[in-house]
Amino acid sequence: MSYSSPALSYLPRPDGVVLADSPDRLAKDGLYHAVPIIIGSQEDEGTVFSFNQRNISTTLHLKDYLVDYFEQASSSDIDLLLKYYPDDQRLGSPFNTGFKNTLYNQYKRLAAILGDITFALTRRLAAELMTEANPEVPVWSYLDSSKTIVPYLGTSHGTARFLVSEKQLGDYYLNFLYNKDPNVDSRLNFWPKWAGKKRPILKIQSDSFFPRVIIHDNFRSEQYEYIRDNTETFSF
C-alpha cells in the first residue's frame, strides 16, 4: 500500500448520474435496492494500510498526516479524533494484543483510525442506515477475528476470502444465497438479525471450543458516534 493508504485517487465519486450521491446519503434516504444483506468486516482492517508511514512517530506527526489526509477536516476536528484514539498501544490495532505488534510508534493508533473510518465502524453505519430506512428488510452482520497470519497485521483486510470457503462462514453464505436467510437449514449457531438496541453480530474467532459467538455491536461506541456524526468530514 502507498503512503496515502486507502485514500486512492480512483475512488468512485458521485456524478449525479451513475452514482447519484454519496453512499451514506443514499442509504439514509432509502435510495438503494433494498434486499436482505450480509455485511461484515475484519477486526484489523487498517493494519495493511498503515505499513508505509513509519516516519509518523509522534502525535504531532500523526495529526499533520491526518490533516492532509482528510481534506474536509479542520485542525480541531483532527484533535478531537485523536482524543477518541489516544496514544496507547494497548488500544490500537491489531486489537487485543497489548503492547505487542507495534511496528512503529504510531502504527497501532493509525491502523485503528483508518480501519474504523474505512471499514469496521462504517460497516456499523451502513447497517444502521439501512435498518432505519427499511426496517422490514433483514441485515446480518459479522466481525472476523480468526485469521492472524502475520502478527503485525492481525485479522487484516483481505483475509475474509478464507471464510467463504470454510465452515466458519461458508454454510451461512450458501444458505443466504439460496434462502435469503443464513439460518435456514444451518447446523451452525443461530445468527440473529442486526436490529434493536442490542444490535447482535456474529463474531468469528480463533477458538476451537467457541469459534462463533454472538456479541453486541457496541465496541468503540464513542468513536463510532463521532465518526457517524462527522461522516462528510472524514470522507476521502
Domain boundaries, the chain: 22-28+39-139+223-236
Q: What is the CA radius of gyration of the chain?
A: 18
Tens of pLDDT, residue by residue over 38-75, are: 999 999 999 999 999 999 999 999 999 999 989 999 99
pTM: 0.93
Q: Is the pLDDT of residue 194 over 70?
A: yes
Sheet (strand 139-145) strand order: 37-42, 139-145, 200-205, 212-216
For residue 156, give the 3-state DSSP assignment.
strand
Residue of 5, 108, 1, 154 lying closest to 65 (CA atoms): 5
Model confidence band, residue 177 (pLDDT cutoffs 50, 70, 90): very high
Task: Name residue, grid cell 474536509.
Answer: 72
Tens of pLDDT, residue by residue over 3-20, are: 777 776 677 788 888 889
Query: How far apart are alpha carbons 33 and 45 in whole angstroms?
Result: 26
Q: Is the pLDDT of residue 153 over 80?
A: yes
Q: Dig out the grid coordinates for 98 from the structure.
A: 497489548
Query: How far apart are alpha carbons 24 and 7 in whole angstroms?
Result: 17
Query: How far apart are alpha carbons 132 and 28 in whole angstroms?
Result: 8
Name the average pLDDT for the chain: 92
On whether the CB atoms of residues 209 and 155 are closer than 8 A, the answer is no
For residue 142, give the 3-state DSSP assignment.
strand
Query: How far apart are alpha carbons 71 and 233 in whole angstroms?
Result: 8
On whether the CB atoms of residues 82 and 69 are closer than 8 A, the answer is no
Tens of pLDDT, residue by residue over 161-175, are: 666 656 678 889 999
Q: Is the pLDDT of residue 208 over 80?
A: no
Q: Is the pLDDT of residue 157 over 90?
A: no
Query: How far apart are alpha carbons 173 and 147 in whole angstroms?
Result: 18
